[in-house]
Structure 1
Amino acid sequence: MSGGLSFFLVLLSLLSSAKPDGSQDKCQITQQITARVGCVIDHSSRVGKEQKVAMEMAIQDLSKSICARVDLHLKDSQGNSARATAAAISLLSSKQVVAIIGTLTMQEAALLSEIENSFPIISLTSTATSPPSESLQWPISIQIANNVAFHMQCVAALVGHFQWRKVTAVYEHNNEFSSHLGIITLLSDSLRLVSSDIEHYQAFPLLPSVSNPEALVEEELKKLRSKSNRVFIVMQFSLQSAVIFFEKAKQLGMMDKGYVWIVTDEIANLLDSVETSVKYNMQGVIGIKTHFAETSFKQFKTRFRRIYGLRYPEEEENSSPSIFALRAYDAIWATGRAIKILQQGNVTSKELSQKILSTAFQGQSGMIEFKNGMLSQPPTFQIINVIGRSYREMAFWSPRYGFSENLMKHTDMNAFAEVLGPIYWPGGLQTTPKGWTPVDVDRPLKIGVPAMGAFTQFVNVRYDPDTNETDISGFSIDVFEAAVKHLPYQLPYEFVPLNGSYDEMVELVSNKSLDAAVGDIEVIADRYHYVEFTQPYISSGLEMVVTVKPDKLKETEMLVWPFTREMWFLLFVTHLSVCLVACLMEIVHGRSLEDIGAFWFWVDCLLFAPREQFKNPWARLLLAPWLLAIVVVTATFTASLSSMMTVSRVQPSVLDIETLKMTNATVGCNGNSFIVRYLINVLEFRPENIKSIASISDYPEAFERKDITAAFFVSPHAKVFLAKYCNARFTKTGSVYKPSGFGFVFQKGSPLAIDISEAMLEATESGQVEKLEKQMLSSYNCSSPINSNNGSIGPEPFSGLFLIAGLACALAFLVTIVRLVREHWRNFLPGNVLVEVELQPNPVN
């Protein structure tokens, strides 16, 4: 089709689309207000073509509706920043335009401020950005777009929902973000709010300006493929570049299982206008596109498709308008409405700027109202999933409500999975990808292990000179290997023995010289700042071990050990009370102290064989419960004394750390561990009083030579030490200071830390870790543990017997006292005296 015929058909289409009500006749040429407006777009790009058609439609509608005429002067930027700037300057100088509409970036617009600082530039970029606050030379920028921060928040919400800890950001380089990398900063800030971060980012040049874009994309994608991260955020990409990008990603196997691709507005909004072959290269991609109301969109779409198909017949099948066409249409309308309000023949740039910024109307793309030079109404994004020849609309997201199934029904993040439904991931994967691959393709993990640990039971590094091989074993190694077996994937790794301290090994992980570290590494707060720890695989605590000494003083008093002082006192008082009351009852019954034999009576009660028969039945009743109590107490005394005579009785040589500090004693510990810092900074020991001990076998010698008075171990090490030297007179004493435990170390933010923690919990719940710990401790076969607890028995177990005997004694005493009072009271009555006198016989003269 010739160019003249094509132009004729387009003109005919525009004329035929006019309303048949004759509204175009209402405006006379002399009544129309005219303004010259420049336009800089890329005529060769899909977005540029849509914008051009939409603006021509808007100019026609303006002329018919409000008698405002916009004289549009088009310039082609050819997708080049320098050409765009030059074209805008040319329009300002030669055409005397009052405003420029186009895809000018903030940096490109800044150059125009040298000519006219109050000149309005209506930007049609996909996202809006605020100019740096320190600059005072930015022109009046009117951005018909939403703040780019909203786009990054939506991306972060998706990443946070699927709990991907790391992402790779990919964007096409342009002037807008060349100096400050603003889009990366915004994305990073949003990701931190969902506990995620950018692991890598890659800037691609403008591919249309590269001589061999396919080779460049392939080379850069291979670099990204060699990284462990598999979550890619593609943003600020032109459609032409995105087609090349995903074609090469498909060829390199980066659209297979395990990969995640998220594309933003620039690509997602144009999926309706690409060939089916392009969508086949993007299967499983998640897109974020700006949603707009479709109240009048159908009519607009019909007109647009007809005109676009005539203008670009080779793209007729994919001629649906995108959000970029709608915003271009609204940009012309905003300019025309401002011109109409001014009602002047000649419109100045400053006046036009003020009117555009204060305008407010319902456009094709939504509400057109500005705040701080950009659209004030927060956007609503639609989440889509590319499947087959098209895509599935899954959910909506807005800054206020988050994810929702539709615009009228909102939901929370917990129900988001139900809103989304099943997602088609790249490669047809049915479950959510974990977002990373364990290691690089050709390199196993380098895992550091301590080669000079004091306790080789946890990590033992042995070198065999005959075979030139290094054997690494121990409890920590066994636990790590058990956890790896529970991983749902293969994890190739190799151990690297290190001769430095534990802090040095952790630092090597932090600076990425090592991928991880395995061993008896304590989880402490200051290490958490620069590395990631797994779940502790064994609990820990700082304990003090000292020598023990026999309690020679107590050996001479062994007969009193079975009972406490309180028990002996209670026995004596109760026995004395019962015997006294029993004697008193016998005296009341008419017996004398000589008849009773008071001293032997007390002893007979203990031997259960009173020498004299009780005549008072109340005395027999009183003695019965007490004799029963004596039987029980005697049996308990015999059993406890027998046990004590067969067990070694010792006590710690030092009771607590305060004694150590007051006596300025020297203590020993593993010099390569955190214990040295802990003793100095927390427990306030003097550095000169801390002696470094290199091996577990050196501790007994140091105690014997009096080099140290006490040794400090973490709890797992203390268990091993006491198990190995259980007959060497050592014991734990003092308080237990509680760090977290032993864990494995990974680089900060490494997803492996989470997977290994989960696998380690599975190994623990299955009993494997406990079994490995028992195997480590059982190899020493310790059968004679030292007992430093005296185990004396108090009165609590016999409280019932003492209560019964005490009540019986009190009751008997009370009854006896009452009888004595009554007898004495009778003796003093007058009647009794007279009777006695009268009964006396008369004396014989």
Structure 2
Amino acid sequence: LALQFMEKDTVAIIGPQSSVIAHVVSHVANELQVPMLSFGATDPTLTSLQFPFLVRTTRSDHFQMAAVADLVDYYEWKQVTAIYIDDDYGRNGIASLGDELVKRRAKISFKAAVRPGAKKSEMASVLVRVALRESRVVILHANPDSGLTLLSLARNLGMTSSGYVWIATDWLSSFLDSSPRLDIGLLGTMQGFLTLRQHTENTRRKSMLASKWSALVKKDSVDDKFLINSYGFYAYDTVWILAYALDAYFSRGGNISFSNDTKLHEVGAGGLQLKAMTVFDGGRLLLERIQQVNFTGATGPVKFDTDGNLIRPAYDIVNIVGSGLRTVGYWSNYSGLSTLLPETLYMKPAKRVRGDQKLHTVIWPGETTVRPRGWVFPNNGIELKIGVPNRASYRQFVSVDDNTGTVRGFCIDVFVAAANLLQYPVPFKFVPFGDGSQNPSYPDLINNILTNDFDAVVGDIAIVTNRTRVVDFTQPYVESGLVVLTSVKKQSSSGWAFLQPFTIKMWCVTGLFFLVIGTVVWLLEHRINDDFRGPPVKQVITVFWFSFSTLFFAHREDTRSTLGRFVIIIWLFVVLIIQSSYTASLTSILTVQQLISPITGIDSLVASDDPIGFQVGSFAESYLVNELGVSRHRLKSLGTPDEYKQALELGPANGGVTAIVDERPYVEIFLLLHPKFAVVGSEFTKSGWGFVSLFDYFFPPSENNST
């Protein structure tokens, strides 16, 4: 129809309403230099750069998809499924959505295209494929005819129940807003859905237009009545845009004239005569006047930016609940998601930080206010392959029965218990890794996730830095860390145990201090205090008696000088510290078994040149070499607790090791079997054991692995 109008002398065109048709007509409009004002073509690829004579008087889907992406990010969903009409409008809109999601570290995991004019059977087939995917967040970008059919089929397939999230673009709100009476059965297919609506400000022109339109609808006797929606308000403003532009065009000396275009030839196309089309000579000037309009219309301020888009793009976030629509918030390109009207925020500083984004409570499908998880395991009958280490030692943690292939152990029990706590079934099977003759290589086991041989790994897997760079871990379910295990000798108590809290040097220094304090006090007191006078022998005895009686705070001699009293106060405080330290050390000696070893911890072990043992497959080897600088020739691999025992008993002089560096859980089990060995020093790494997956696929840390 627009092309037929162009056969005549046309100054401007309002329309088309379809993005698909706009793609076709825009090329002709460019050639004829006829401004085309479209209030319905939202395709984001219809840019002023490619189609300079196409003036979009509505919002581009580029902004709508940014709003959808912000919604997805707000609710912390990382994957969505997109259902769209397979035409320019649908494809380009979803492509824009994909770009916006990537900016927010999310993605479209599955794109389901619906052929224009598709039958119900084709649509049902598309929905079945969607239901088999893991994502339960569905973005529906369609037109009312196909969109409503899809929603009806989705309800029949059970895809609108609890757990699903449906976000429809503004086609749905436009359809519902234009319906005089909402069909309860129709609304039943979309309960809990979210949809977007182009935001229009509460202006005087909007109120007048809505009032007049309602009056016309009431007078109209035609059965097919419809109310005005957001696109209707933009259509109203479009007429005013052209009116203001024409007024400015004529007031500045513009006139109407046309000329022939030699590039156009007569083509038989349904009676369309391209040769009859003429170029509007004042087209560029009129286009400039259109782009310069600035007034307040029914939708709010009407003004174009440098990219040819209307300023202040904004959308209402609408929740379909019961028999109506409920606005739960707003989105604007200026401030993101908010519960406040966008026009009230433009005078304030823009805040797009995550903490400032806010929406009212949403009623989701299933009549729940609990945010849906947004994903489930794909219902395609495929079991997850869970790799488990087939250990040769410490099989209390993970073991594989050679005859039946049954996997058991502490780590397996923890995993199964956690999986049973999930609110949805998790099909999986355990796949042993290793032949069981020796402990497998844990780096190789983890690399099998990267090669897609395993979906996850369960077992005694230590959470260390180099592993977290390539895979994701759940929260640790066992605390762990590297410790030093070595041979020790037990020190028996004797009658001289009371001397052991202090070394000989400490005893001598302490005794000397007692004598020095006694002498200092005597020097300060003997001239004015009769207690420190008398024959020389008496004075020497007094000094000794006074000094050592302070140990028990039992000195009888009075101090009269101020300086003497100050010295005594300081000394009594020191005596209290010495006494407390001695008592604590003696108590430990008499109550705790004393062990003697030349190795006191990791520092003394690294400083020595003796061999060091480590468990086969453990990360202790790489830690000792790469982090502590231990020479690799000093390291000796050990496989079983018996090898541990034998190597420690032989010692470094007889081909054994001086100590073993291993994780605490293994060492604790070893010590239960062989208590004559002991851990020396403290843990020198802090880590834990966790389950392994790729990109948080199995147990997303924000939700499921806190148990």
TM-score, structure 2 length as denominator? 0.74
Counterpart pick for 1:207 among 116, 119, 122: 116
Counterpart pick for 2:65 among 126, 135, 152: 152
Counterpart pick for 1:679 among 620, 624, 628: 624
Q: Which amino acid aligns with 1:331?
A: T
Report if the CA contact (8 A) 1:106-1:176 is conserved.
no
Extract unaligned runs of 5+ from structure 1.
Answer: 1-73, 76-87, 607-616, 620-625, 761-845
Distance in 2, Cα, partners of 1:638 & 1:146? 78
For residues 551-584 of structure 1, give each alpha carbon's deviation from its aligned partner in whole angstroms, at most 9, with x where no partner exists: 99x99998853433354114543676799999x9
CA gap of 1:140–1:525, structure 2 versus 1, over 3 A, is: farther
Measure how far apart 1:107 and its partner are: 9.2
CA gap of 1:514–1:217, structure 2 versus 1, over 3 A, is: farther
Counterpart pick for 2:370 among 425, 431, 437: 431
Quote the residue 1:327 is aligned against. Answer: 234
Matches within 5 A, 1:90-169: 94-95=7-8, 97-99=10-12, 101-102=15-16, 103-104=18-19, 108=23, 112=27, 116=31, 120-125=35-40, 127=42, 129=44, 139-169=52-82
Q: Which amino acid aligns with 2:629?
A: E
SS in 1 for 2:303: strand
Q: Which amino acid aligns with 2:113?
A: F
Quote the residue 1:829 is aligned against. Answer: none
Report if the CA contact (8 A) 1:152-1:187 is conserved.
yes
CA gap of 1:399–1:524, structure 2 versus 1, over 3 A, is: farther
Distance in 1, Cα, partners of 2:221 & 2:86? 29
Quote the residue 2:475 is aligned against. Answer: 535
Measure how far apart 1:138 and its partner are: 5.0
Measure how far apart 1:177 and its partner are: 7.2
Distance in 2, Cα, partners of 1:658 & 1:647? 22
Measure how far apart 1:685 and its partner are: 3.5
For residues 789-841 of structure 1, give each alpha carbon's deviation from its aligned partner in whole angstroms, at most 9, with x where no partner exists: xxxxxxxxxxxxxxxxxxxxxxxxxxxxxxxxxxxxxxxxxxxxxxxxxxxxx
Q: Answer yes or no: is 1:457 the counterpart of 2:396.
A: yes
Distance in 2, Cα, partners of 1:452 & 1:408? 65
CA gap of 1:649–1:400, structure 2 versus 1, over 3 A, is: same
Q: Which amino acid aligns with 1:693?
A: L
For residues 108-162 of structure 1, give each alpha carbon's deviation from its aligned partner in whole angstroms, at most 9, with x where no partner exists: 36982897396644344453636799xx865444222334343234324433443
Quote the residue 1:747 is aligned against. Answer: 694
Distance in 2, Cα, partners of 1:180 & 1:299? 33
Measure how far apart 1:320 and its partner are: 1.2
SS in 2 for 1:426: coil
SS in 1 for 2:102: helix
Q: Answer yes or no: is 1:394 the counterpart of 2:364.
A: no
Matches within 5 A, 1:223-234: 223-234=129-140
Measure how far apart 1:523 and its partner are: 2.1
SS in 2 for 1:129: coil
Counterpart pick for 1:284 among 192, 200, 205: 192
Aligned residue pair count:
624
Distance in 1, Cα, partners of 2:517 & 2:247? 119
Matches within 5 A, 1:514-593: 514-548=454-488, 560-570=499-509, 572-573=511-512
Distance in 1, Cα, partners of 2:536 & 2:294? 122
Q: Answer yes or no: is 1:188 the counterpart of 2:135.
A: no
Measure how far apart 1:400 and its partner are: 3.4
Measure how far apart 1:371 and its partner are: 1.3
For residues 299-343 of structure 1, give each alpha carbon's deviation from its aligned partner in whole angstroms, at most 9, with x where no partner exists: 534665788899994532xx1122223323433432343233222
Q: Which amino acid aligns with 2:234?
A: R
Of stretches 636-645 and 740-749 in structure 1, the one that deviates more from structure 2 is: 636-645
CA gap of 1:670–1:485, structure 2 versus 1, over 3 A, is: same
Distance in 1, Cα, partners of 2:584 & 2:681? 30
Report if the CA contact (8 A) 1:127-1:147 is conserved.
yes
Quote the residue 2:176 is aligned against. Answer: 271
Q: Which amino acid aligns with 2:199?
A: H
Q: Which amino acid aligns with 1:345?
A: I
Q: Answer yes or no: is 1:216 the counterpart of 2:165.
A: no
Measure how far apart 1:542 and its partner are: 2.8
SS in 1 for 2:459: strand
Distance in 2, Cα, partners of 1:731 & 1:564? 24
Report if the CA contact (8 A) 1:548-1:731 is conserved.
no
Quote the residue 1:296 is aligned against. Answer: 205
Quote the residue 1:693 is aligned against. Answer: 638
Q: Which amino acid aligns with 2:284?
A: K
Matches within 5 A, 1:779-798: none
Quote the residue 2:271 is aligned against. Answer: none
Measure how far apart 1:483 and its partner are: 3.4
Q: Answer yes or no: is 1:375 the counterpart of 2:283.
A: no
For residues 51-80 of structure 1, give each alpha carbon's deviation from its aligned partner in whole angstroms, at most 9, with x where no partner exists: xxxxxxxxxxxxxxxxxxxxxxx34xxxxx
CA gap of 1:576–1:128, structure 2 versus 1, over 3 A, is: same
SS in 2 for 1:325: helix
Structure index of larger Rg:
1
Q: Answer yes or no: is 1:345 the counterpart of 2:256.
A: yes
CA gap of 1:539–1:522, structure 2 versus 1, over 3 A, is: same
SS in 2 for 1:218: helix
SS in 2 for 1:315: coil
Report if the CA contact (8 A) 1:447-1:514 is conserved.
yes
SS in 2 for 1:385: strand
Distance in 1, Cα, partners of 2:109 & 2:149? 21
Distance in 2, Cα, partners of 1:385 & 1:188? 22
Measure how far apart 1:653 and its partner are: 3.6
CA gap of 1:152–1:698, structure 2 versus 1, over 3 A, is: farther
CA gap of 1:649–1:178, structure 2 versus 1, over 3 A, is: closer
Q: Answer yes or no: is 1:257 the counterpart of 2:205.
A: no
SS in 2 for 1:521: coil
Distance in 2, Cα, partners of 1:646 & 1:540? 25
Query: Percent of pairs identical after alignment?
Result: 24
Report if the CA contact (8 A) 2:83-2:114 is conserved.
no
SS in 2 for 1:519: coil
Measure how far apart 1:640 and its partner are: 4.4
Quote the residue 1:803 is aligned against. Answer: none
Distance in 1, Cα, partners of 2:588 & 2:61? 84
Measure how far apart 1:683 and its partner are: 2.4
Measure how far apart 1:736 and its partner are: 0.5
Distance in 1, Cα, partners of 2:533 & 2:237? 122
CA gap of 1:638–1:408, structure 2 versus 1, over 3 A, is: closer
Measure how far apart 1:369 and its partner are: 1.3
Report if the CA contact (8 A) 1:403-1:416 is conserved.
yes
Distance in 2, Cα, partners of 1:110 & 1:671? 72
Extract unaligned runs of 5+ from structure 2.
Answer: 258-279, 346-350, 435-439, 549-555, 559-571
SS in 2 for 1:152: helix
Report if the CA contact (8 A) 1:661-1:685 is conserved.
no
Counterpart pick for 2:408 among 464, 472, 475: 472
Measure how far apart 1:255 and its partner are: 0.9
SS in 2 for 1:204: strand
For residues 195-252 of structure 1, give each alpha carbon's deviation from its aligned partner in whole angstroms, at most 9, with x where no partner exists: xx235231413432x3xx31222112112212232221223x1111101110110010
SS in 2 for 1:424: coil
Measure how far apart 1:661 and its partner are: 6.5
Distance in 1, Cα, partners of 2:356 & 2:94? 35
Query: Root-mean-square deviation (CA), in Å?
Result: 4.8
SS in 2 for 1:434: coil
Q: Which amino acid aligns with 1:753?
A: P
Q: Which amino acid aligns with 1:268?
A: S
Matches within 5 A, 1:611-626: none
Q: Which amino acid aligns with 1:300?
A: L
Measure how far apart 1:254 and its partner are: 0.5
Of stretches 423-432 and 249-258 in structure 1, the one that deviates more from structure 2 is: 423-432
Report if the CA contact (8 A) 1:105-1:125 is conserved.
no
For residues 261-288 of structure 1, give each alpha carbon's deviation from its aligned partner in whole angstroms, at most 9, with x where no partner exists: 1112122222134562432211221111
For residues 434-479 of structure 1, give each alpha carbon's deviation from its aligned partner in whole angstroms, at most 9, with x where no partner exists: 323356374554433222375323222223x2xx3514122x2333
Distance in 2, Cα, partners of 1:587 & 1:415? 79
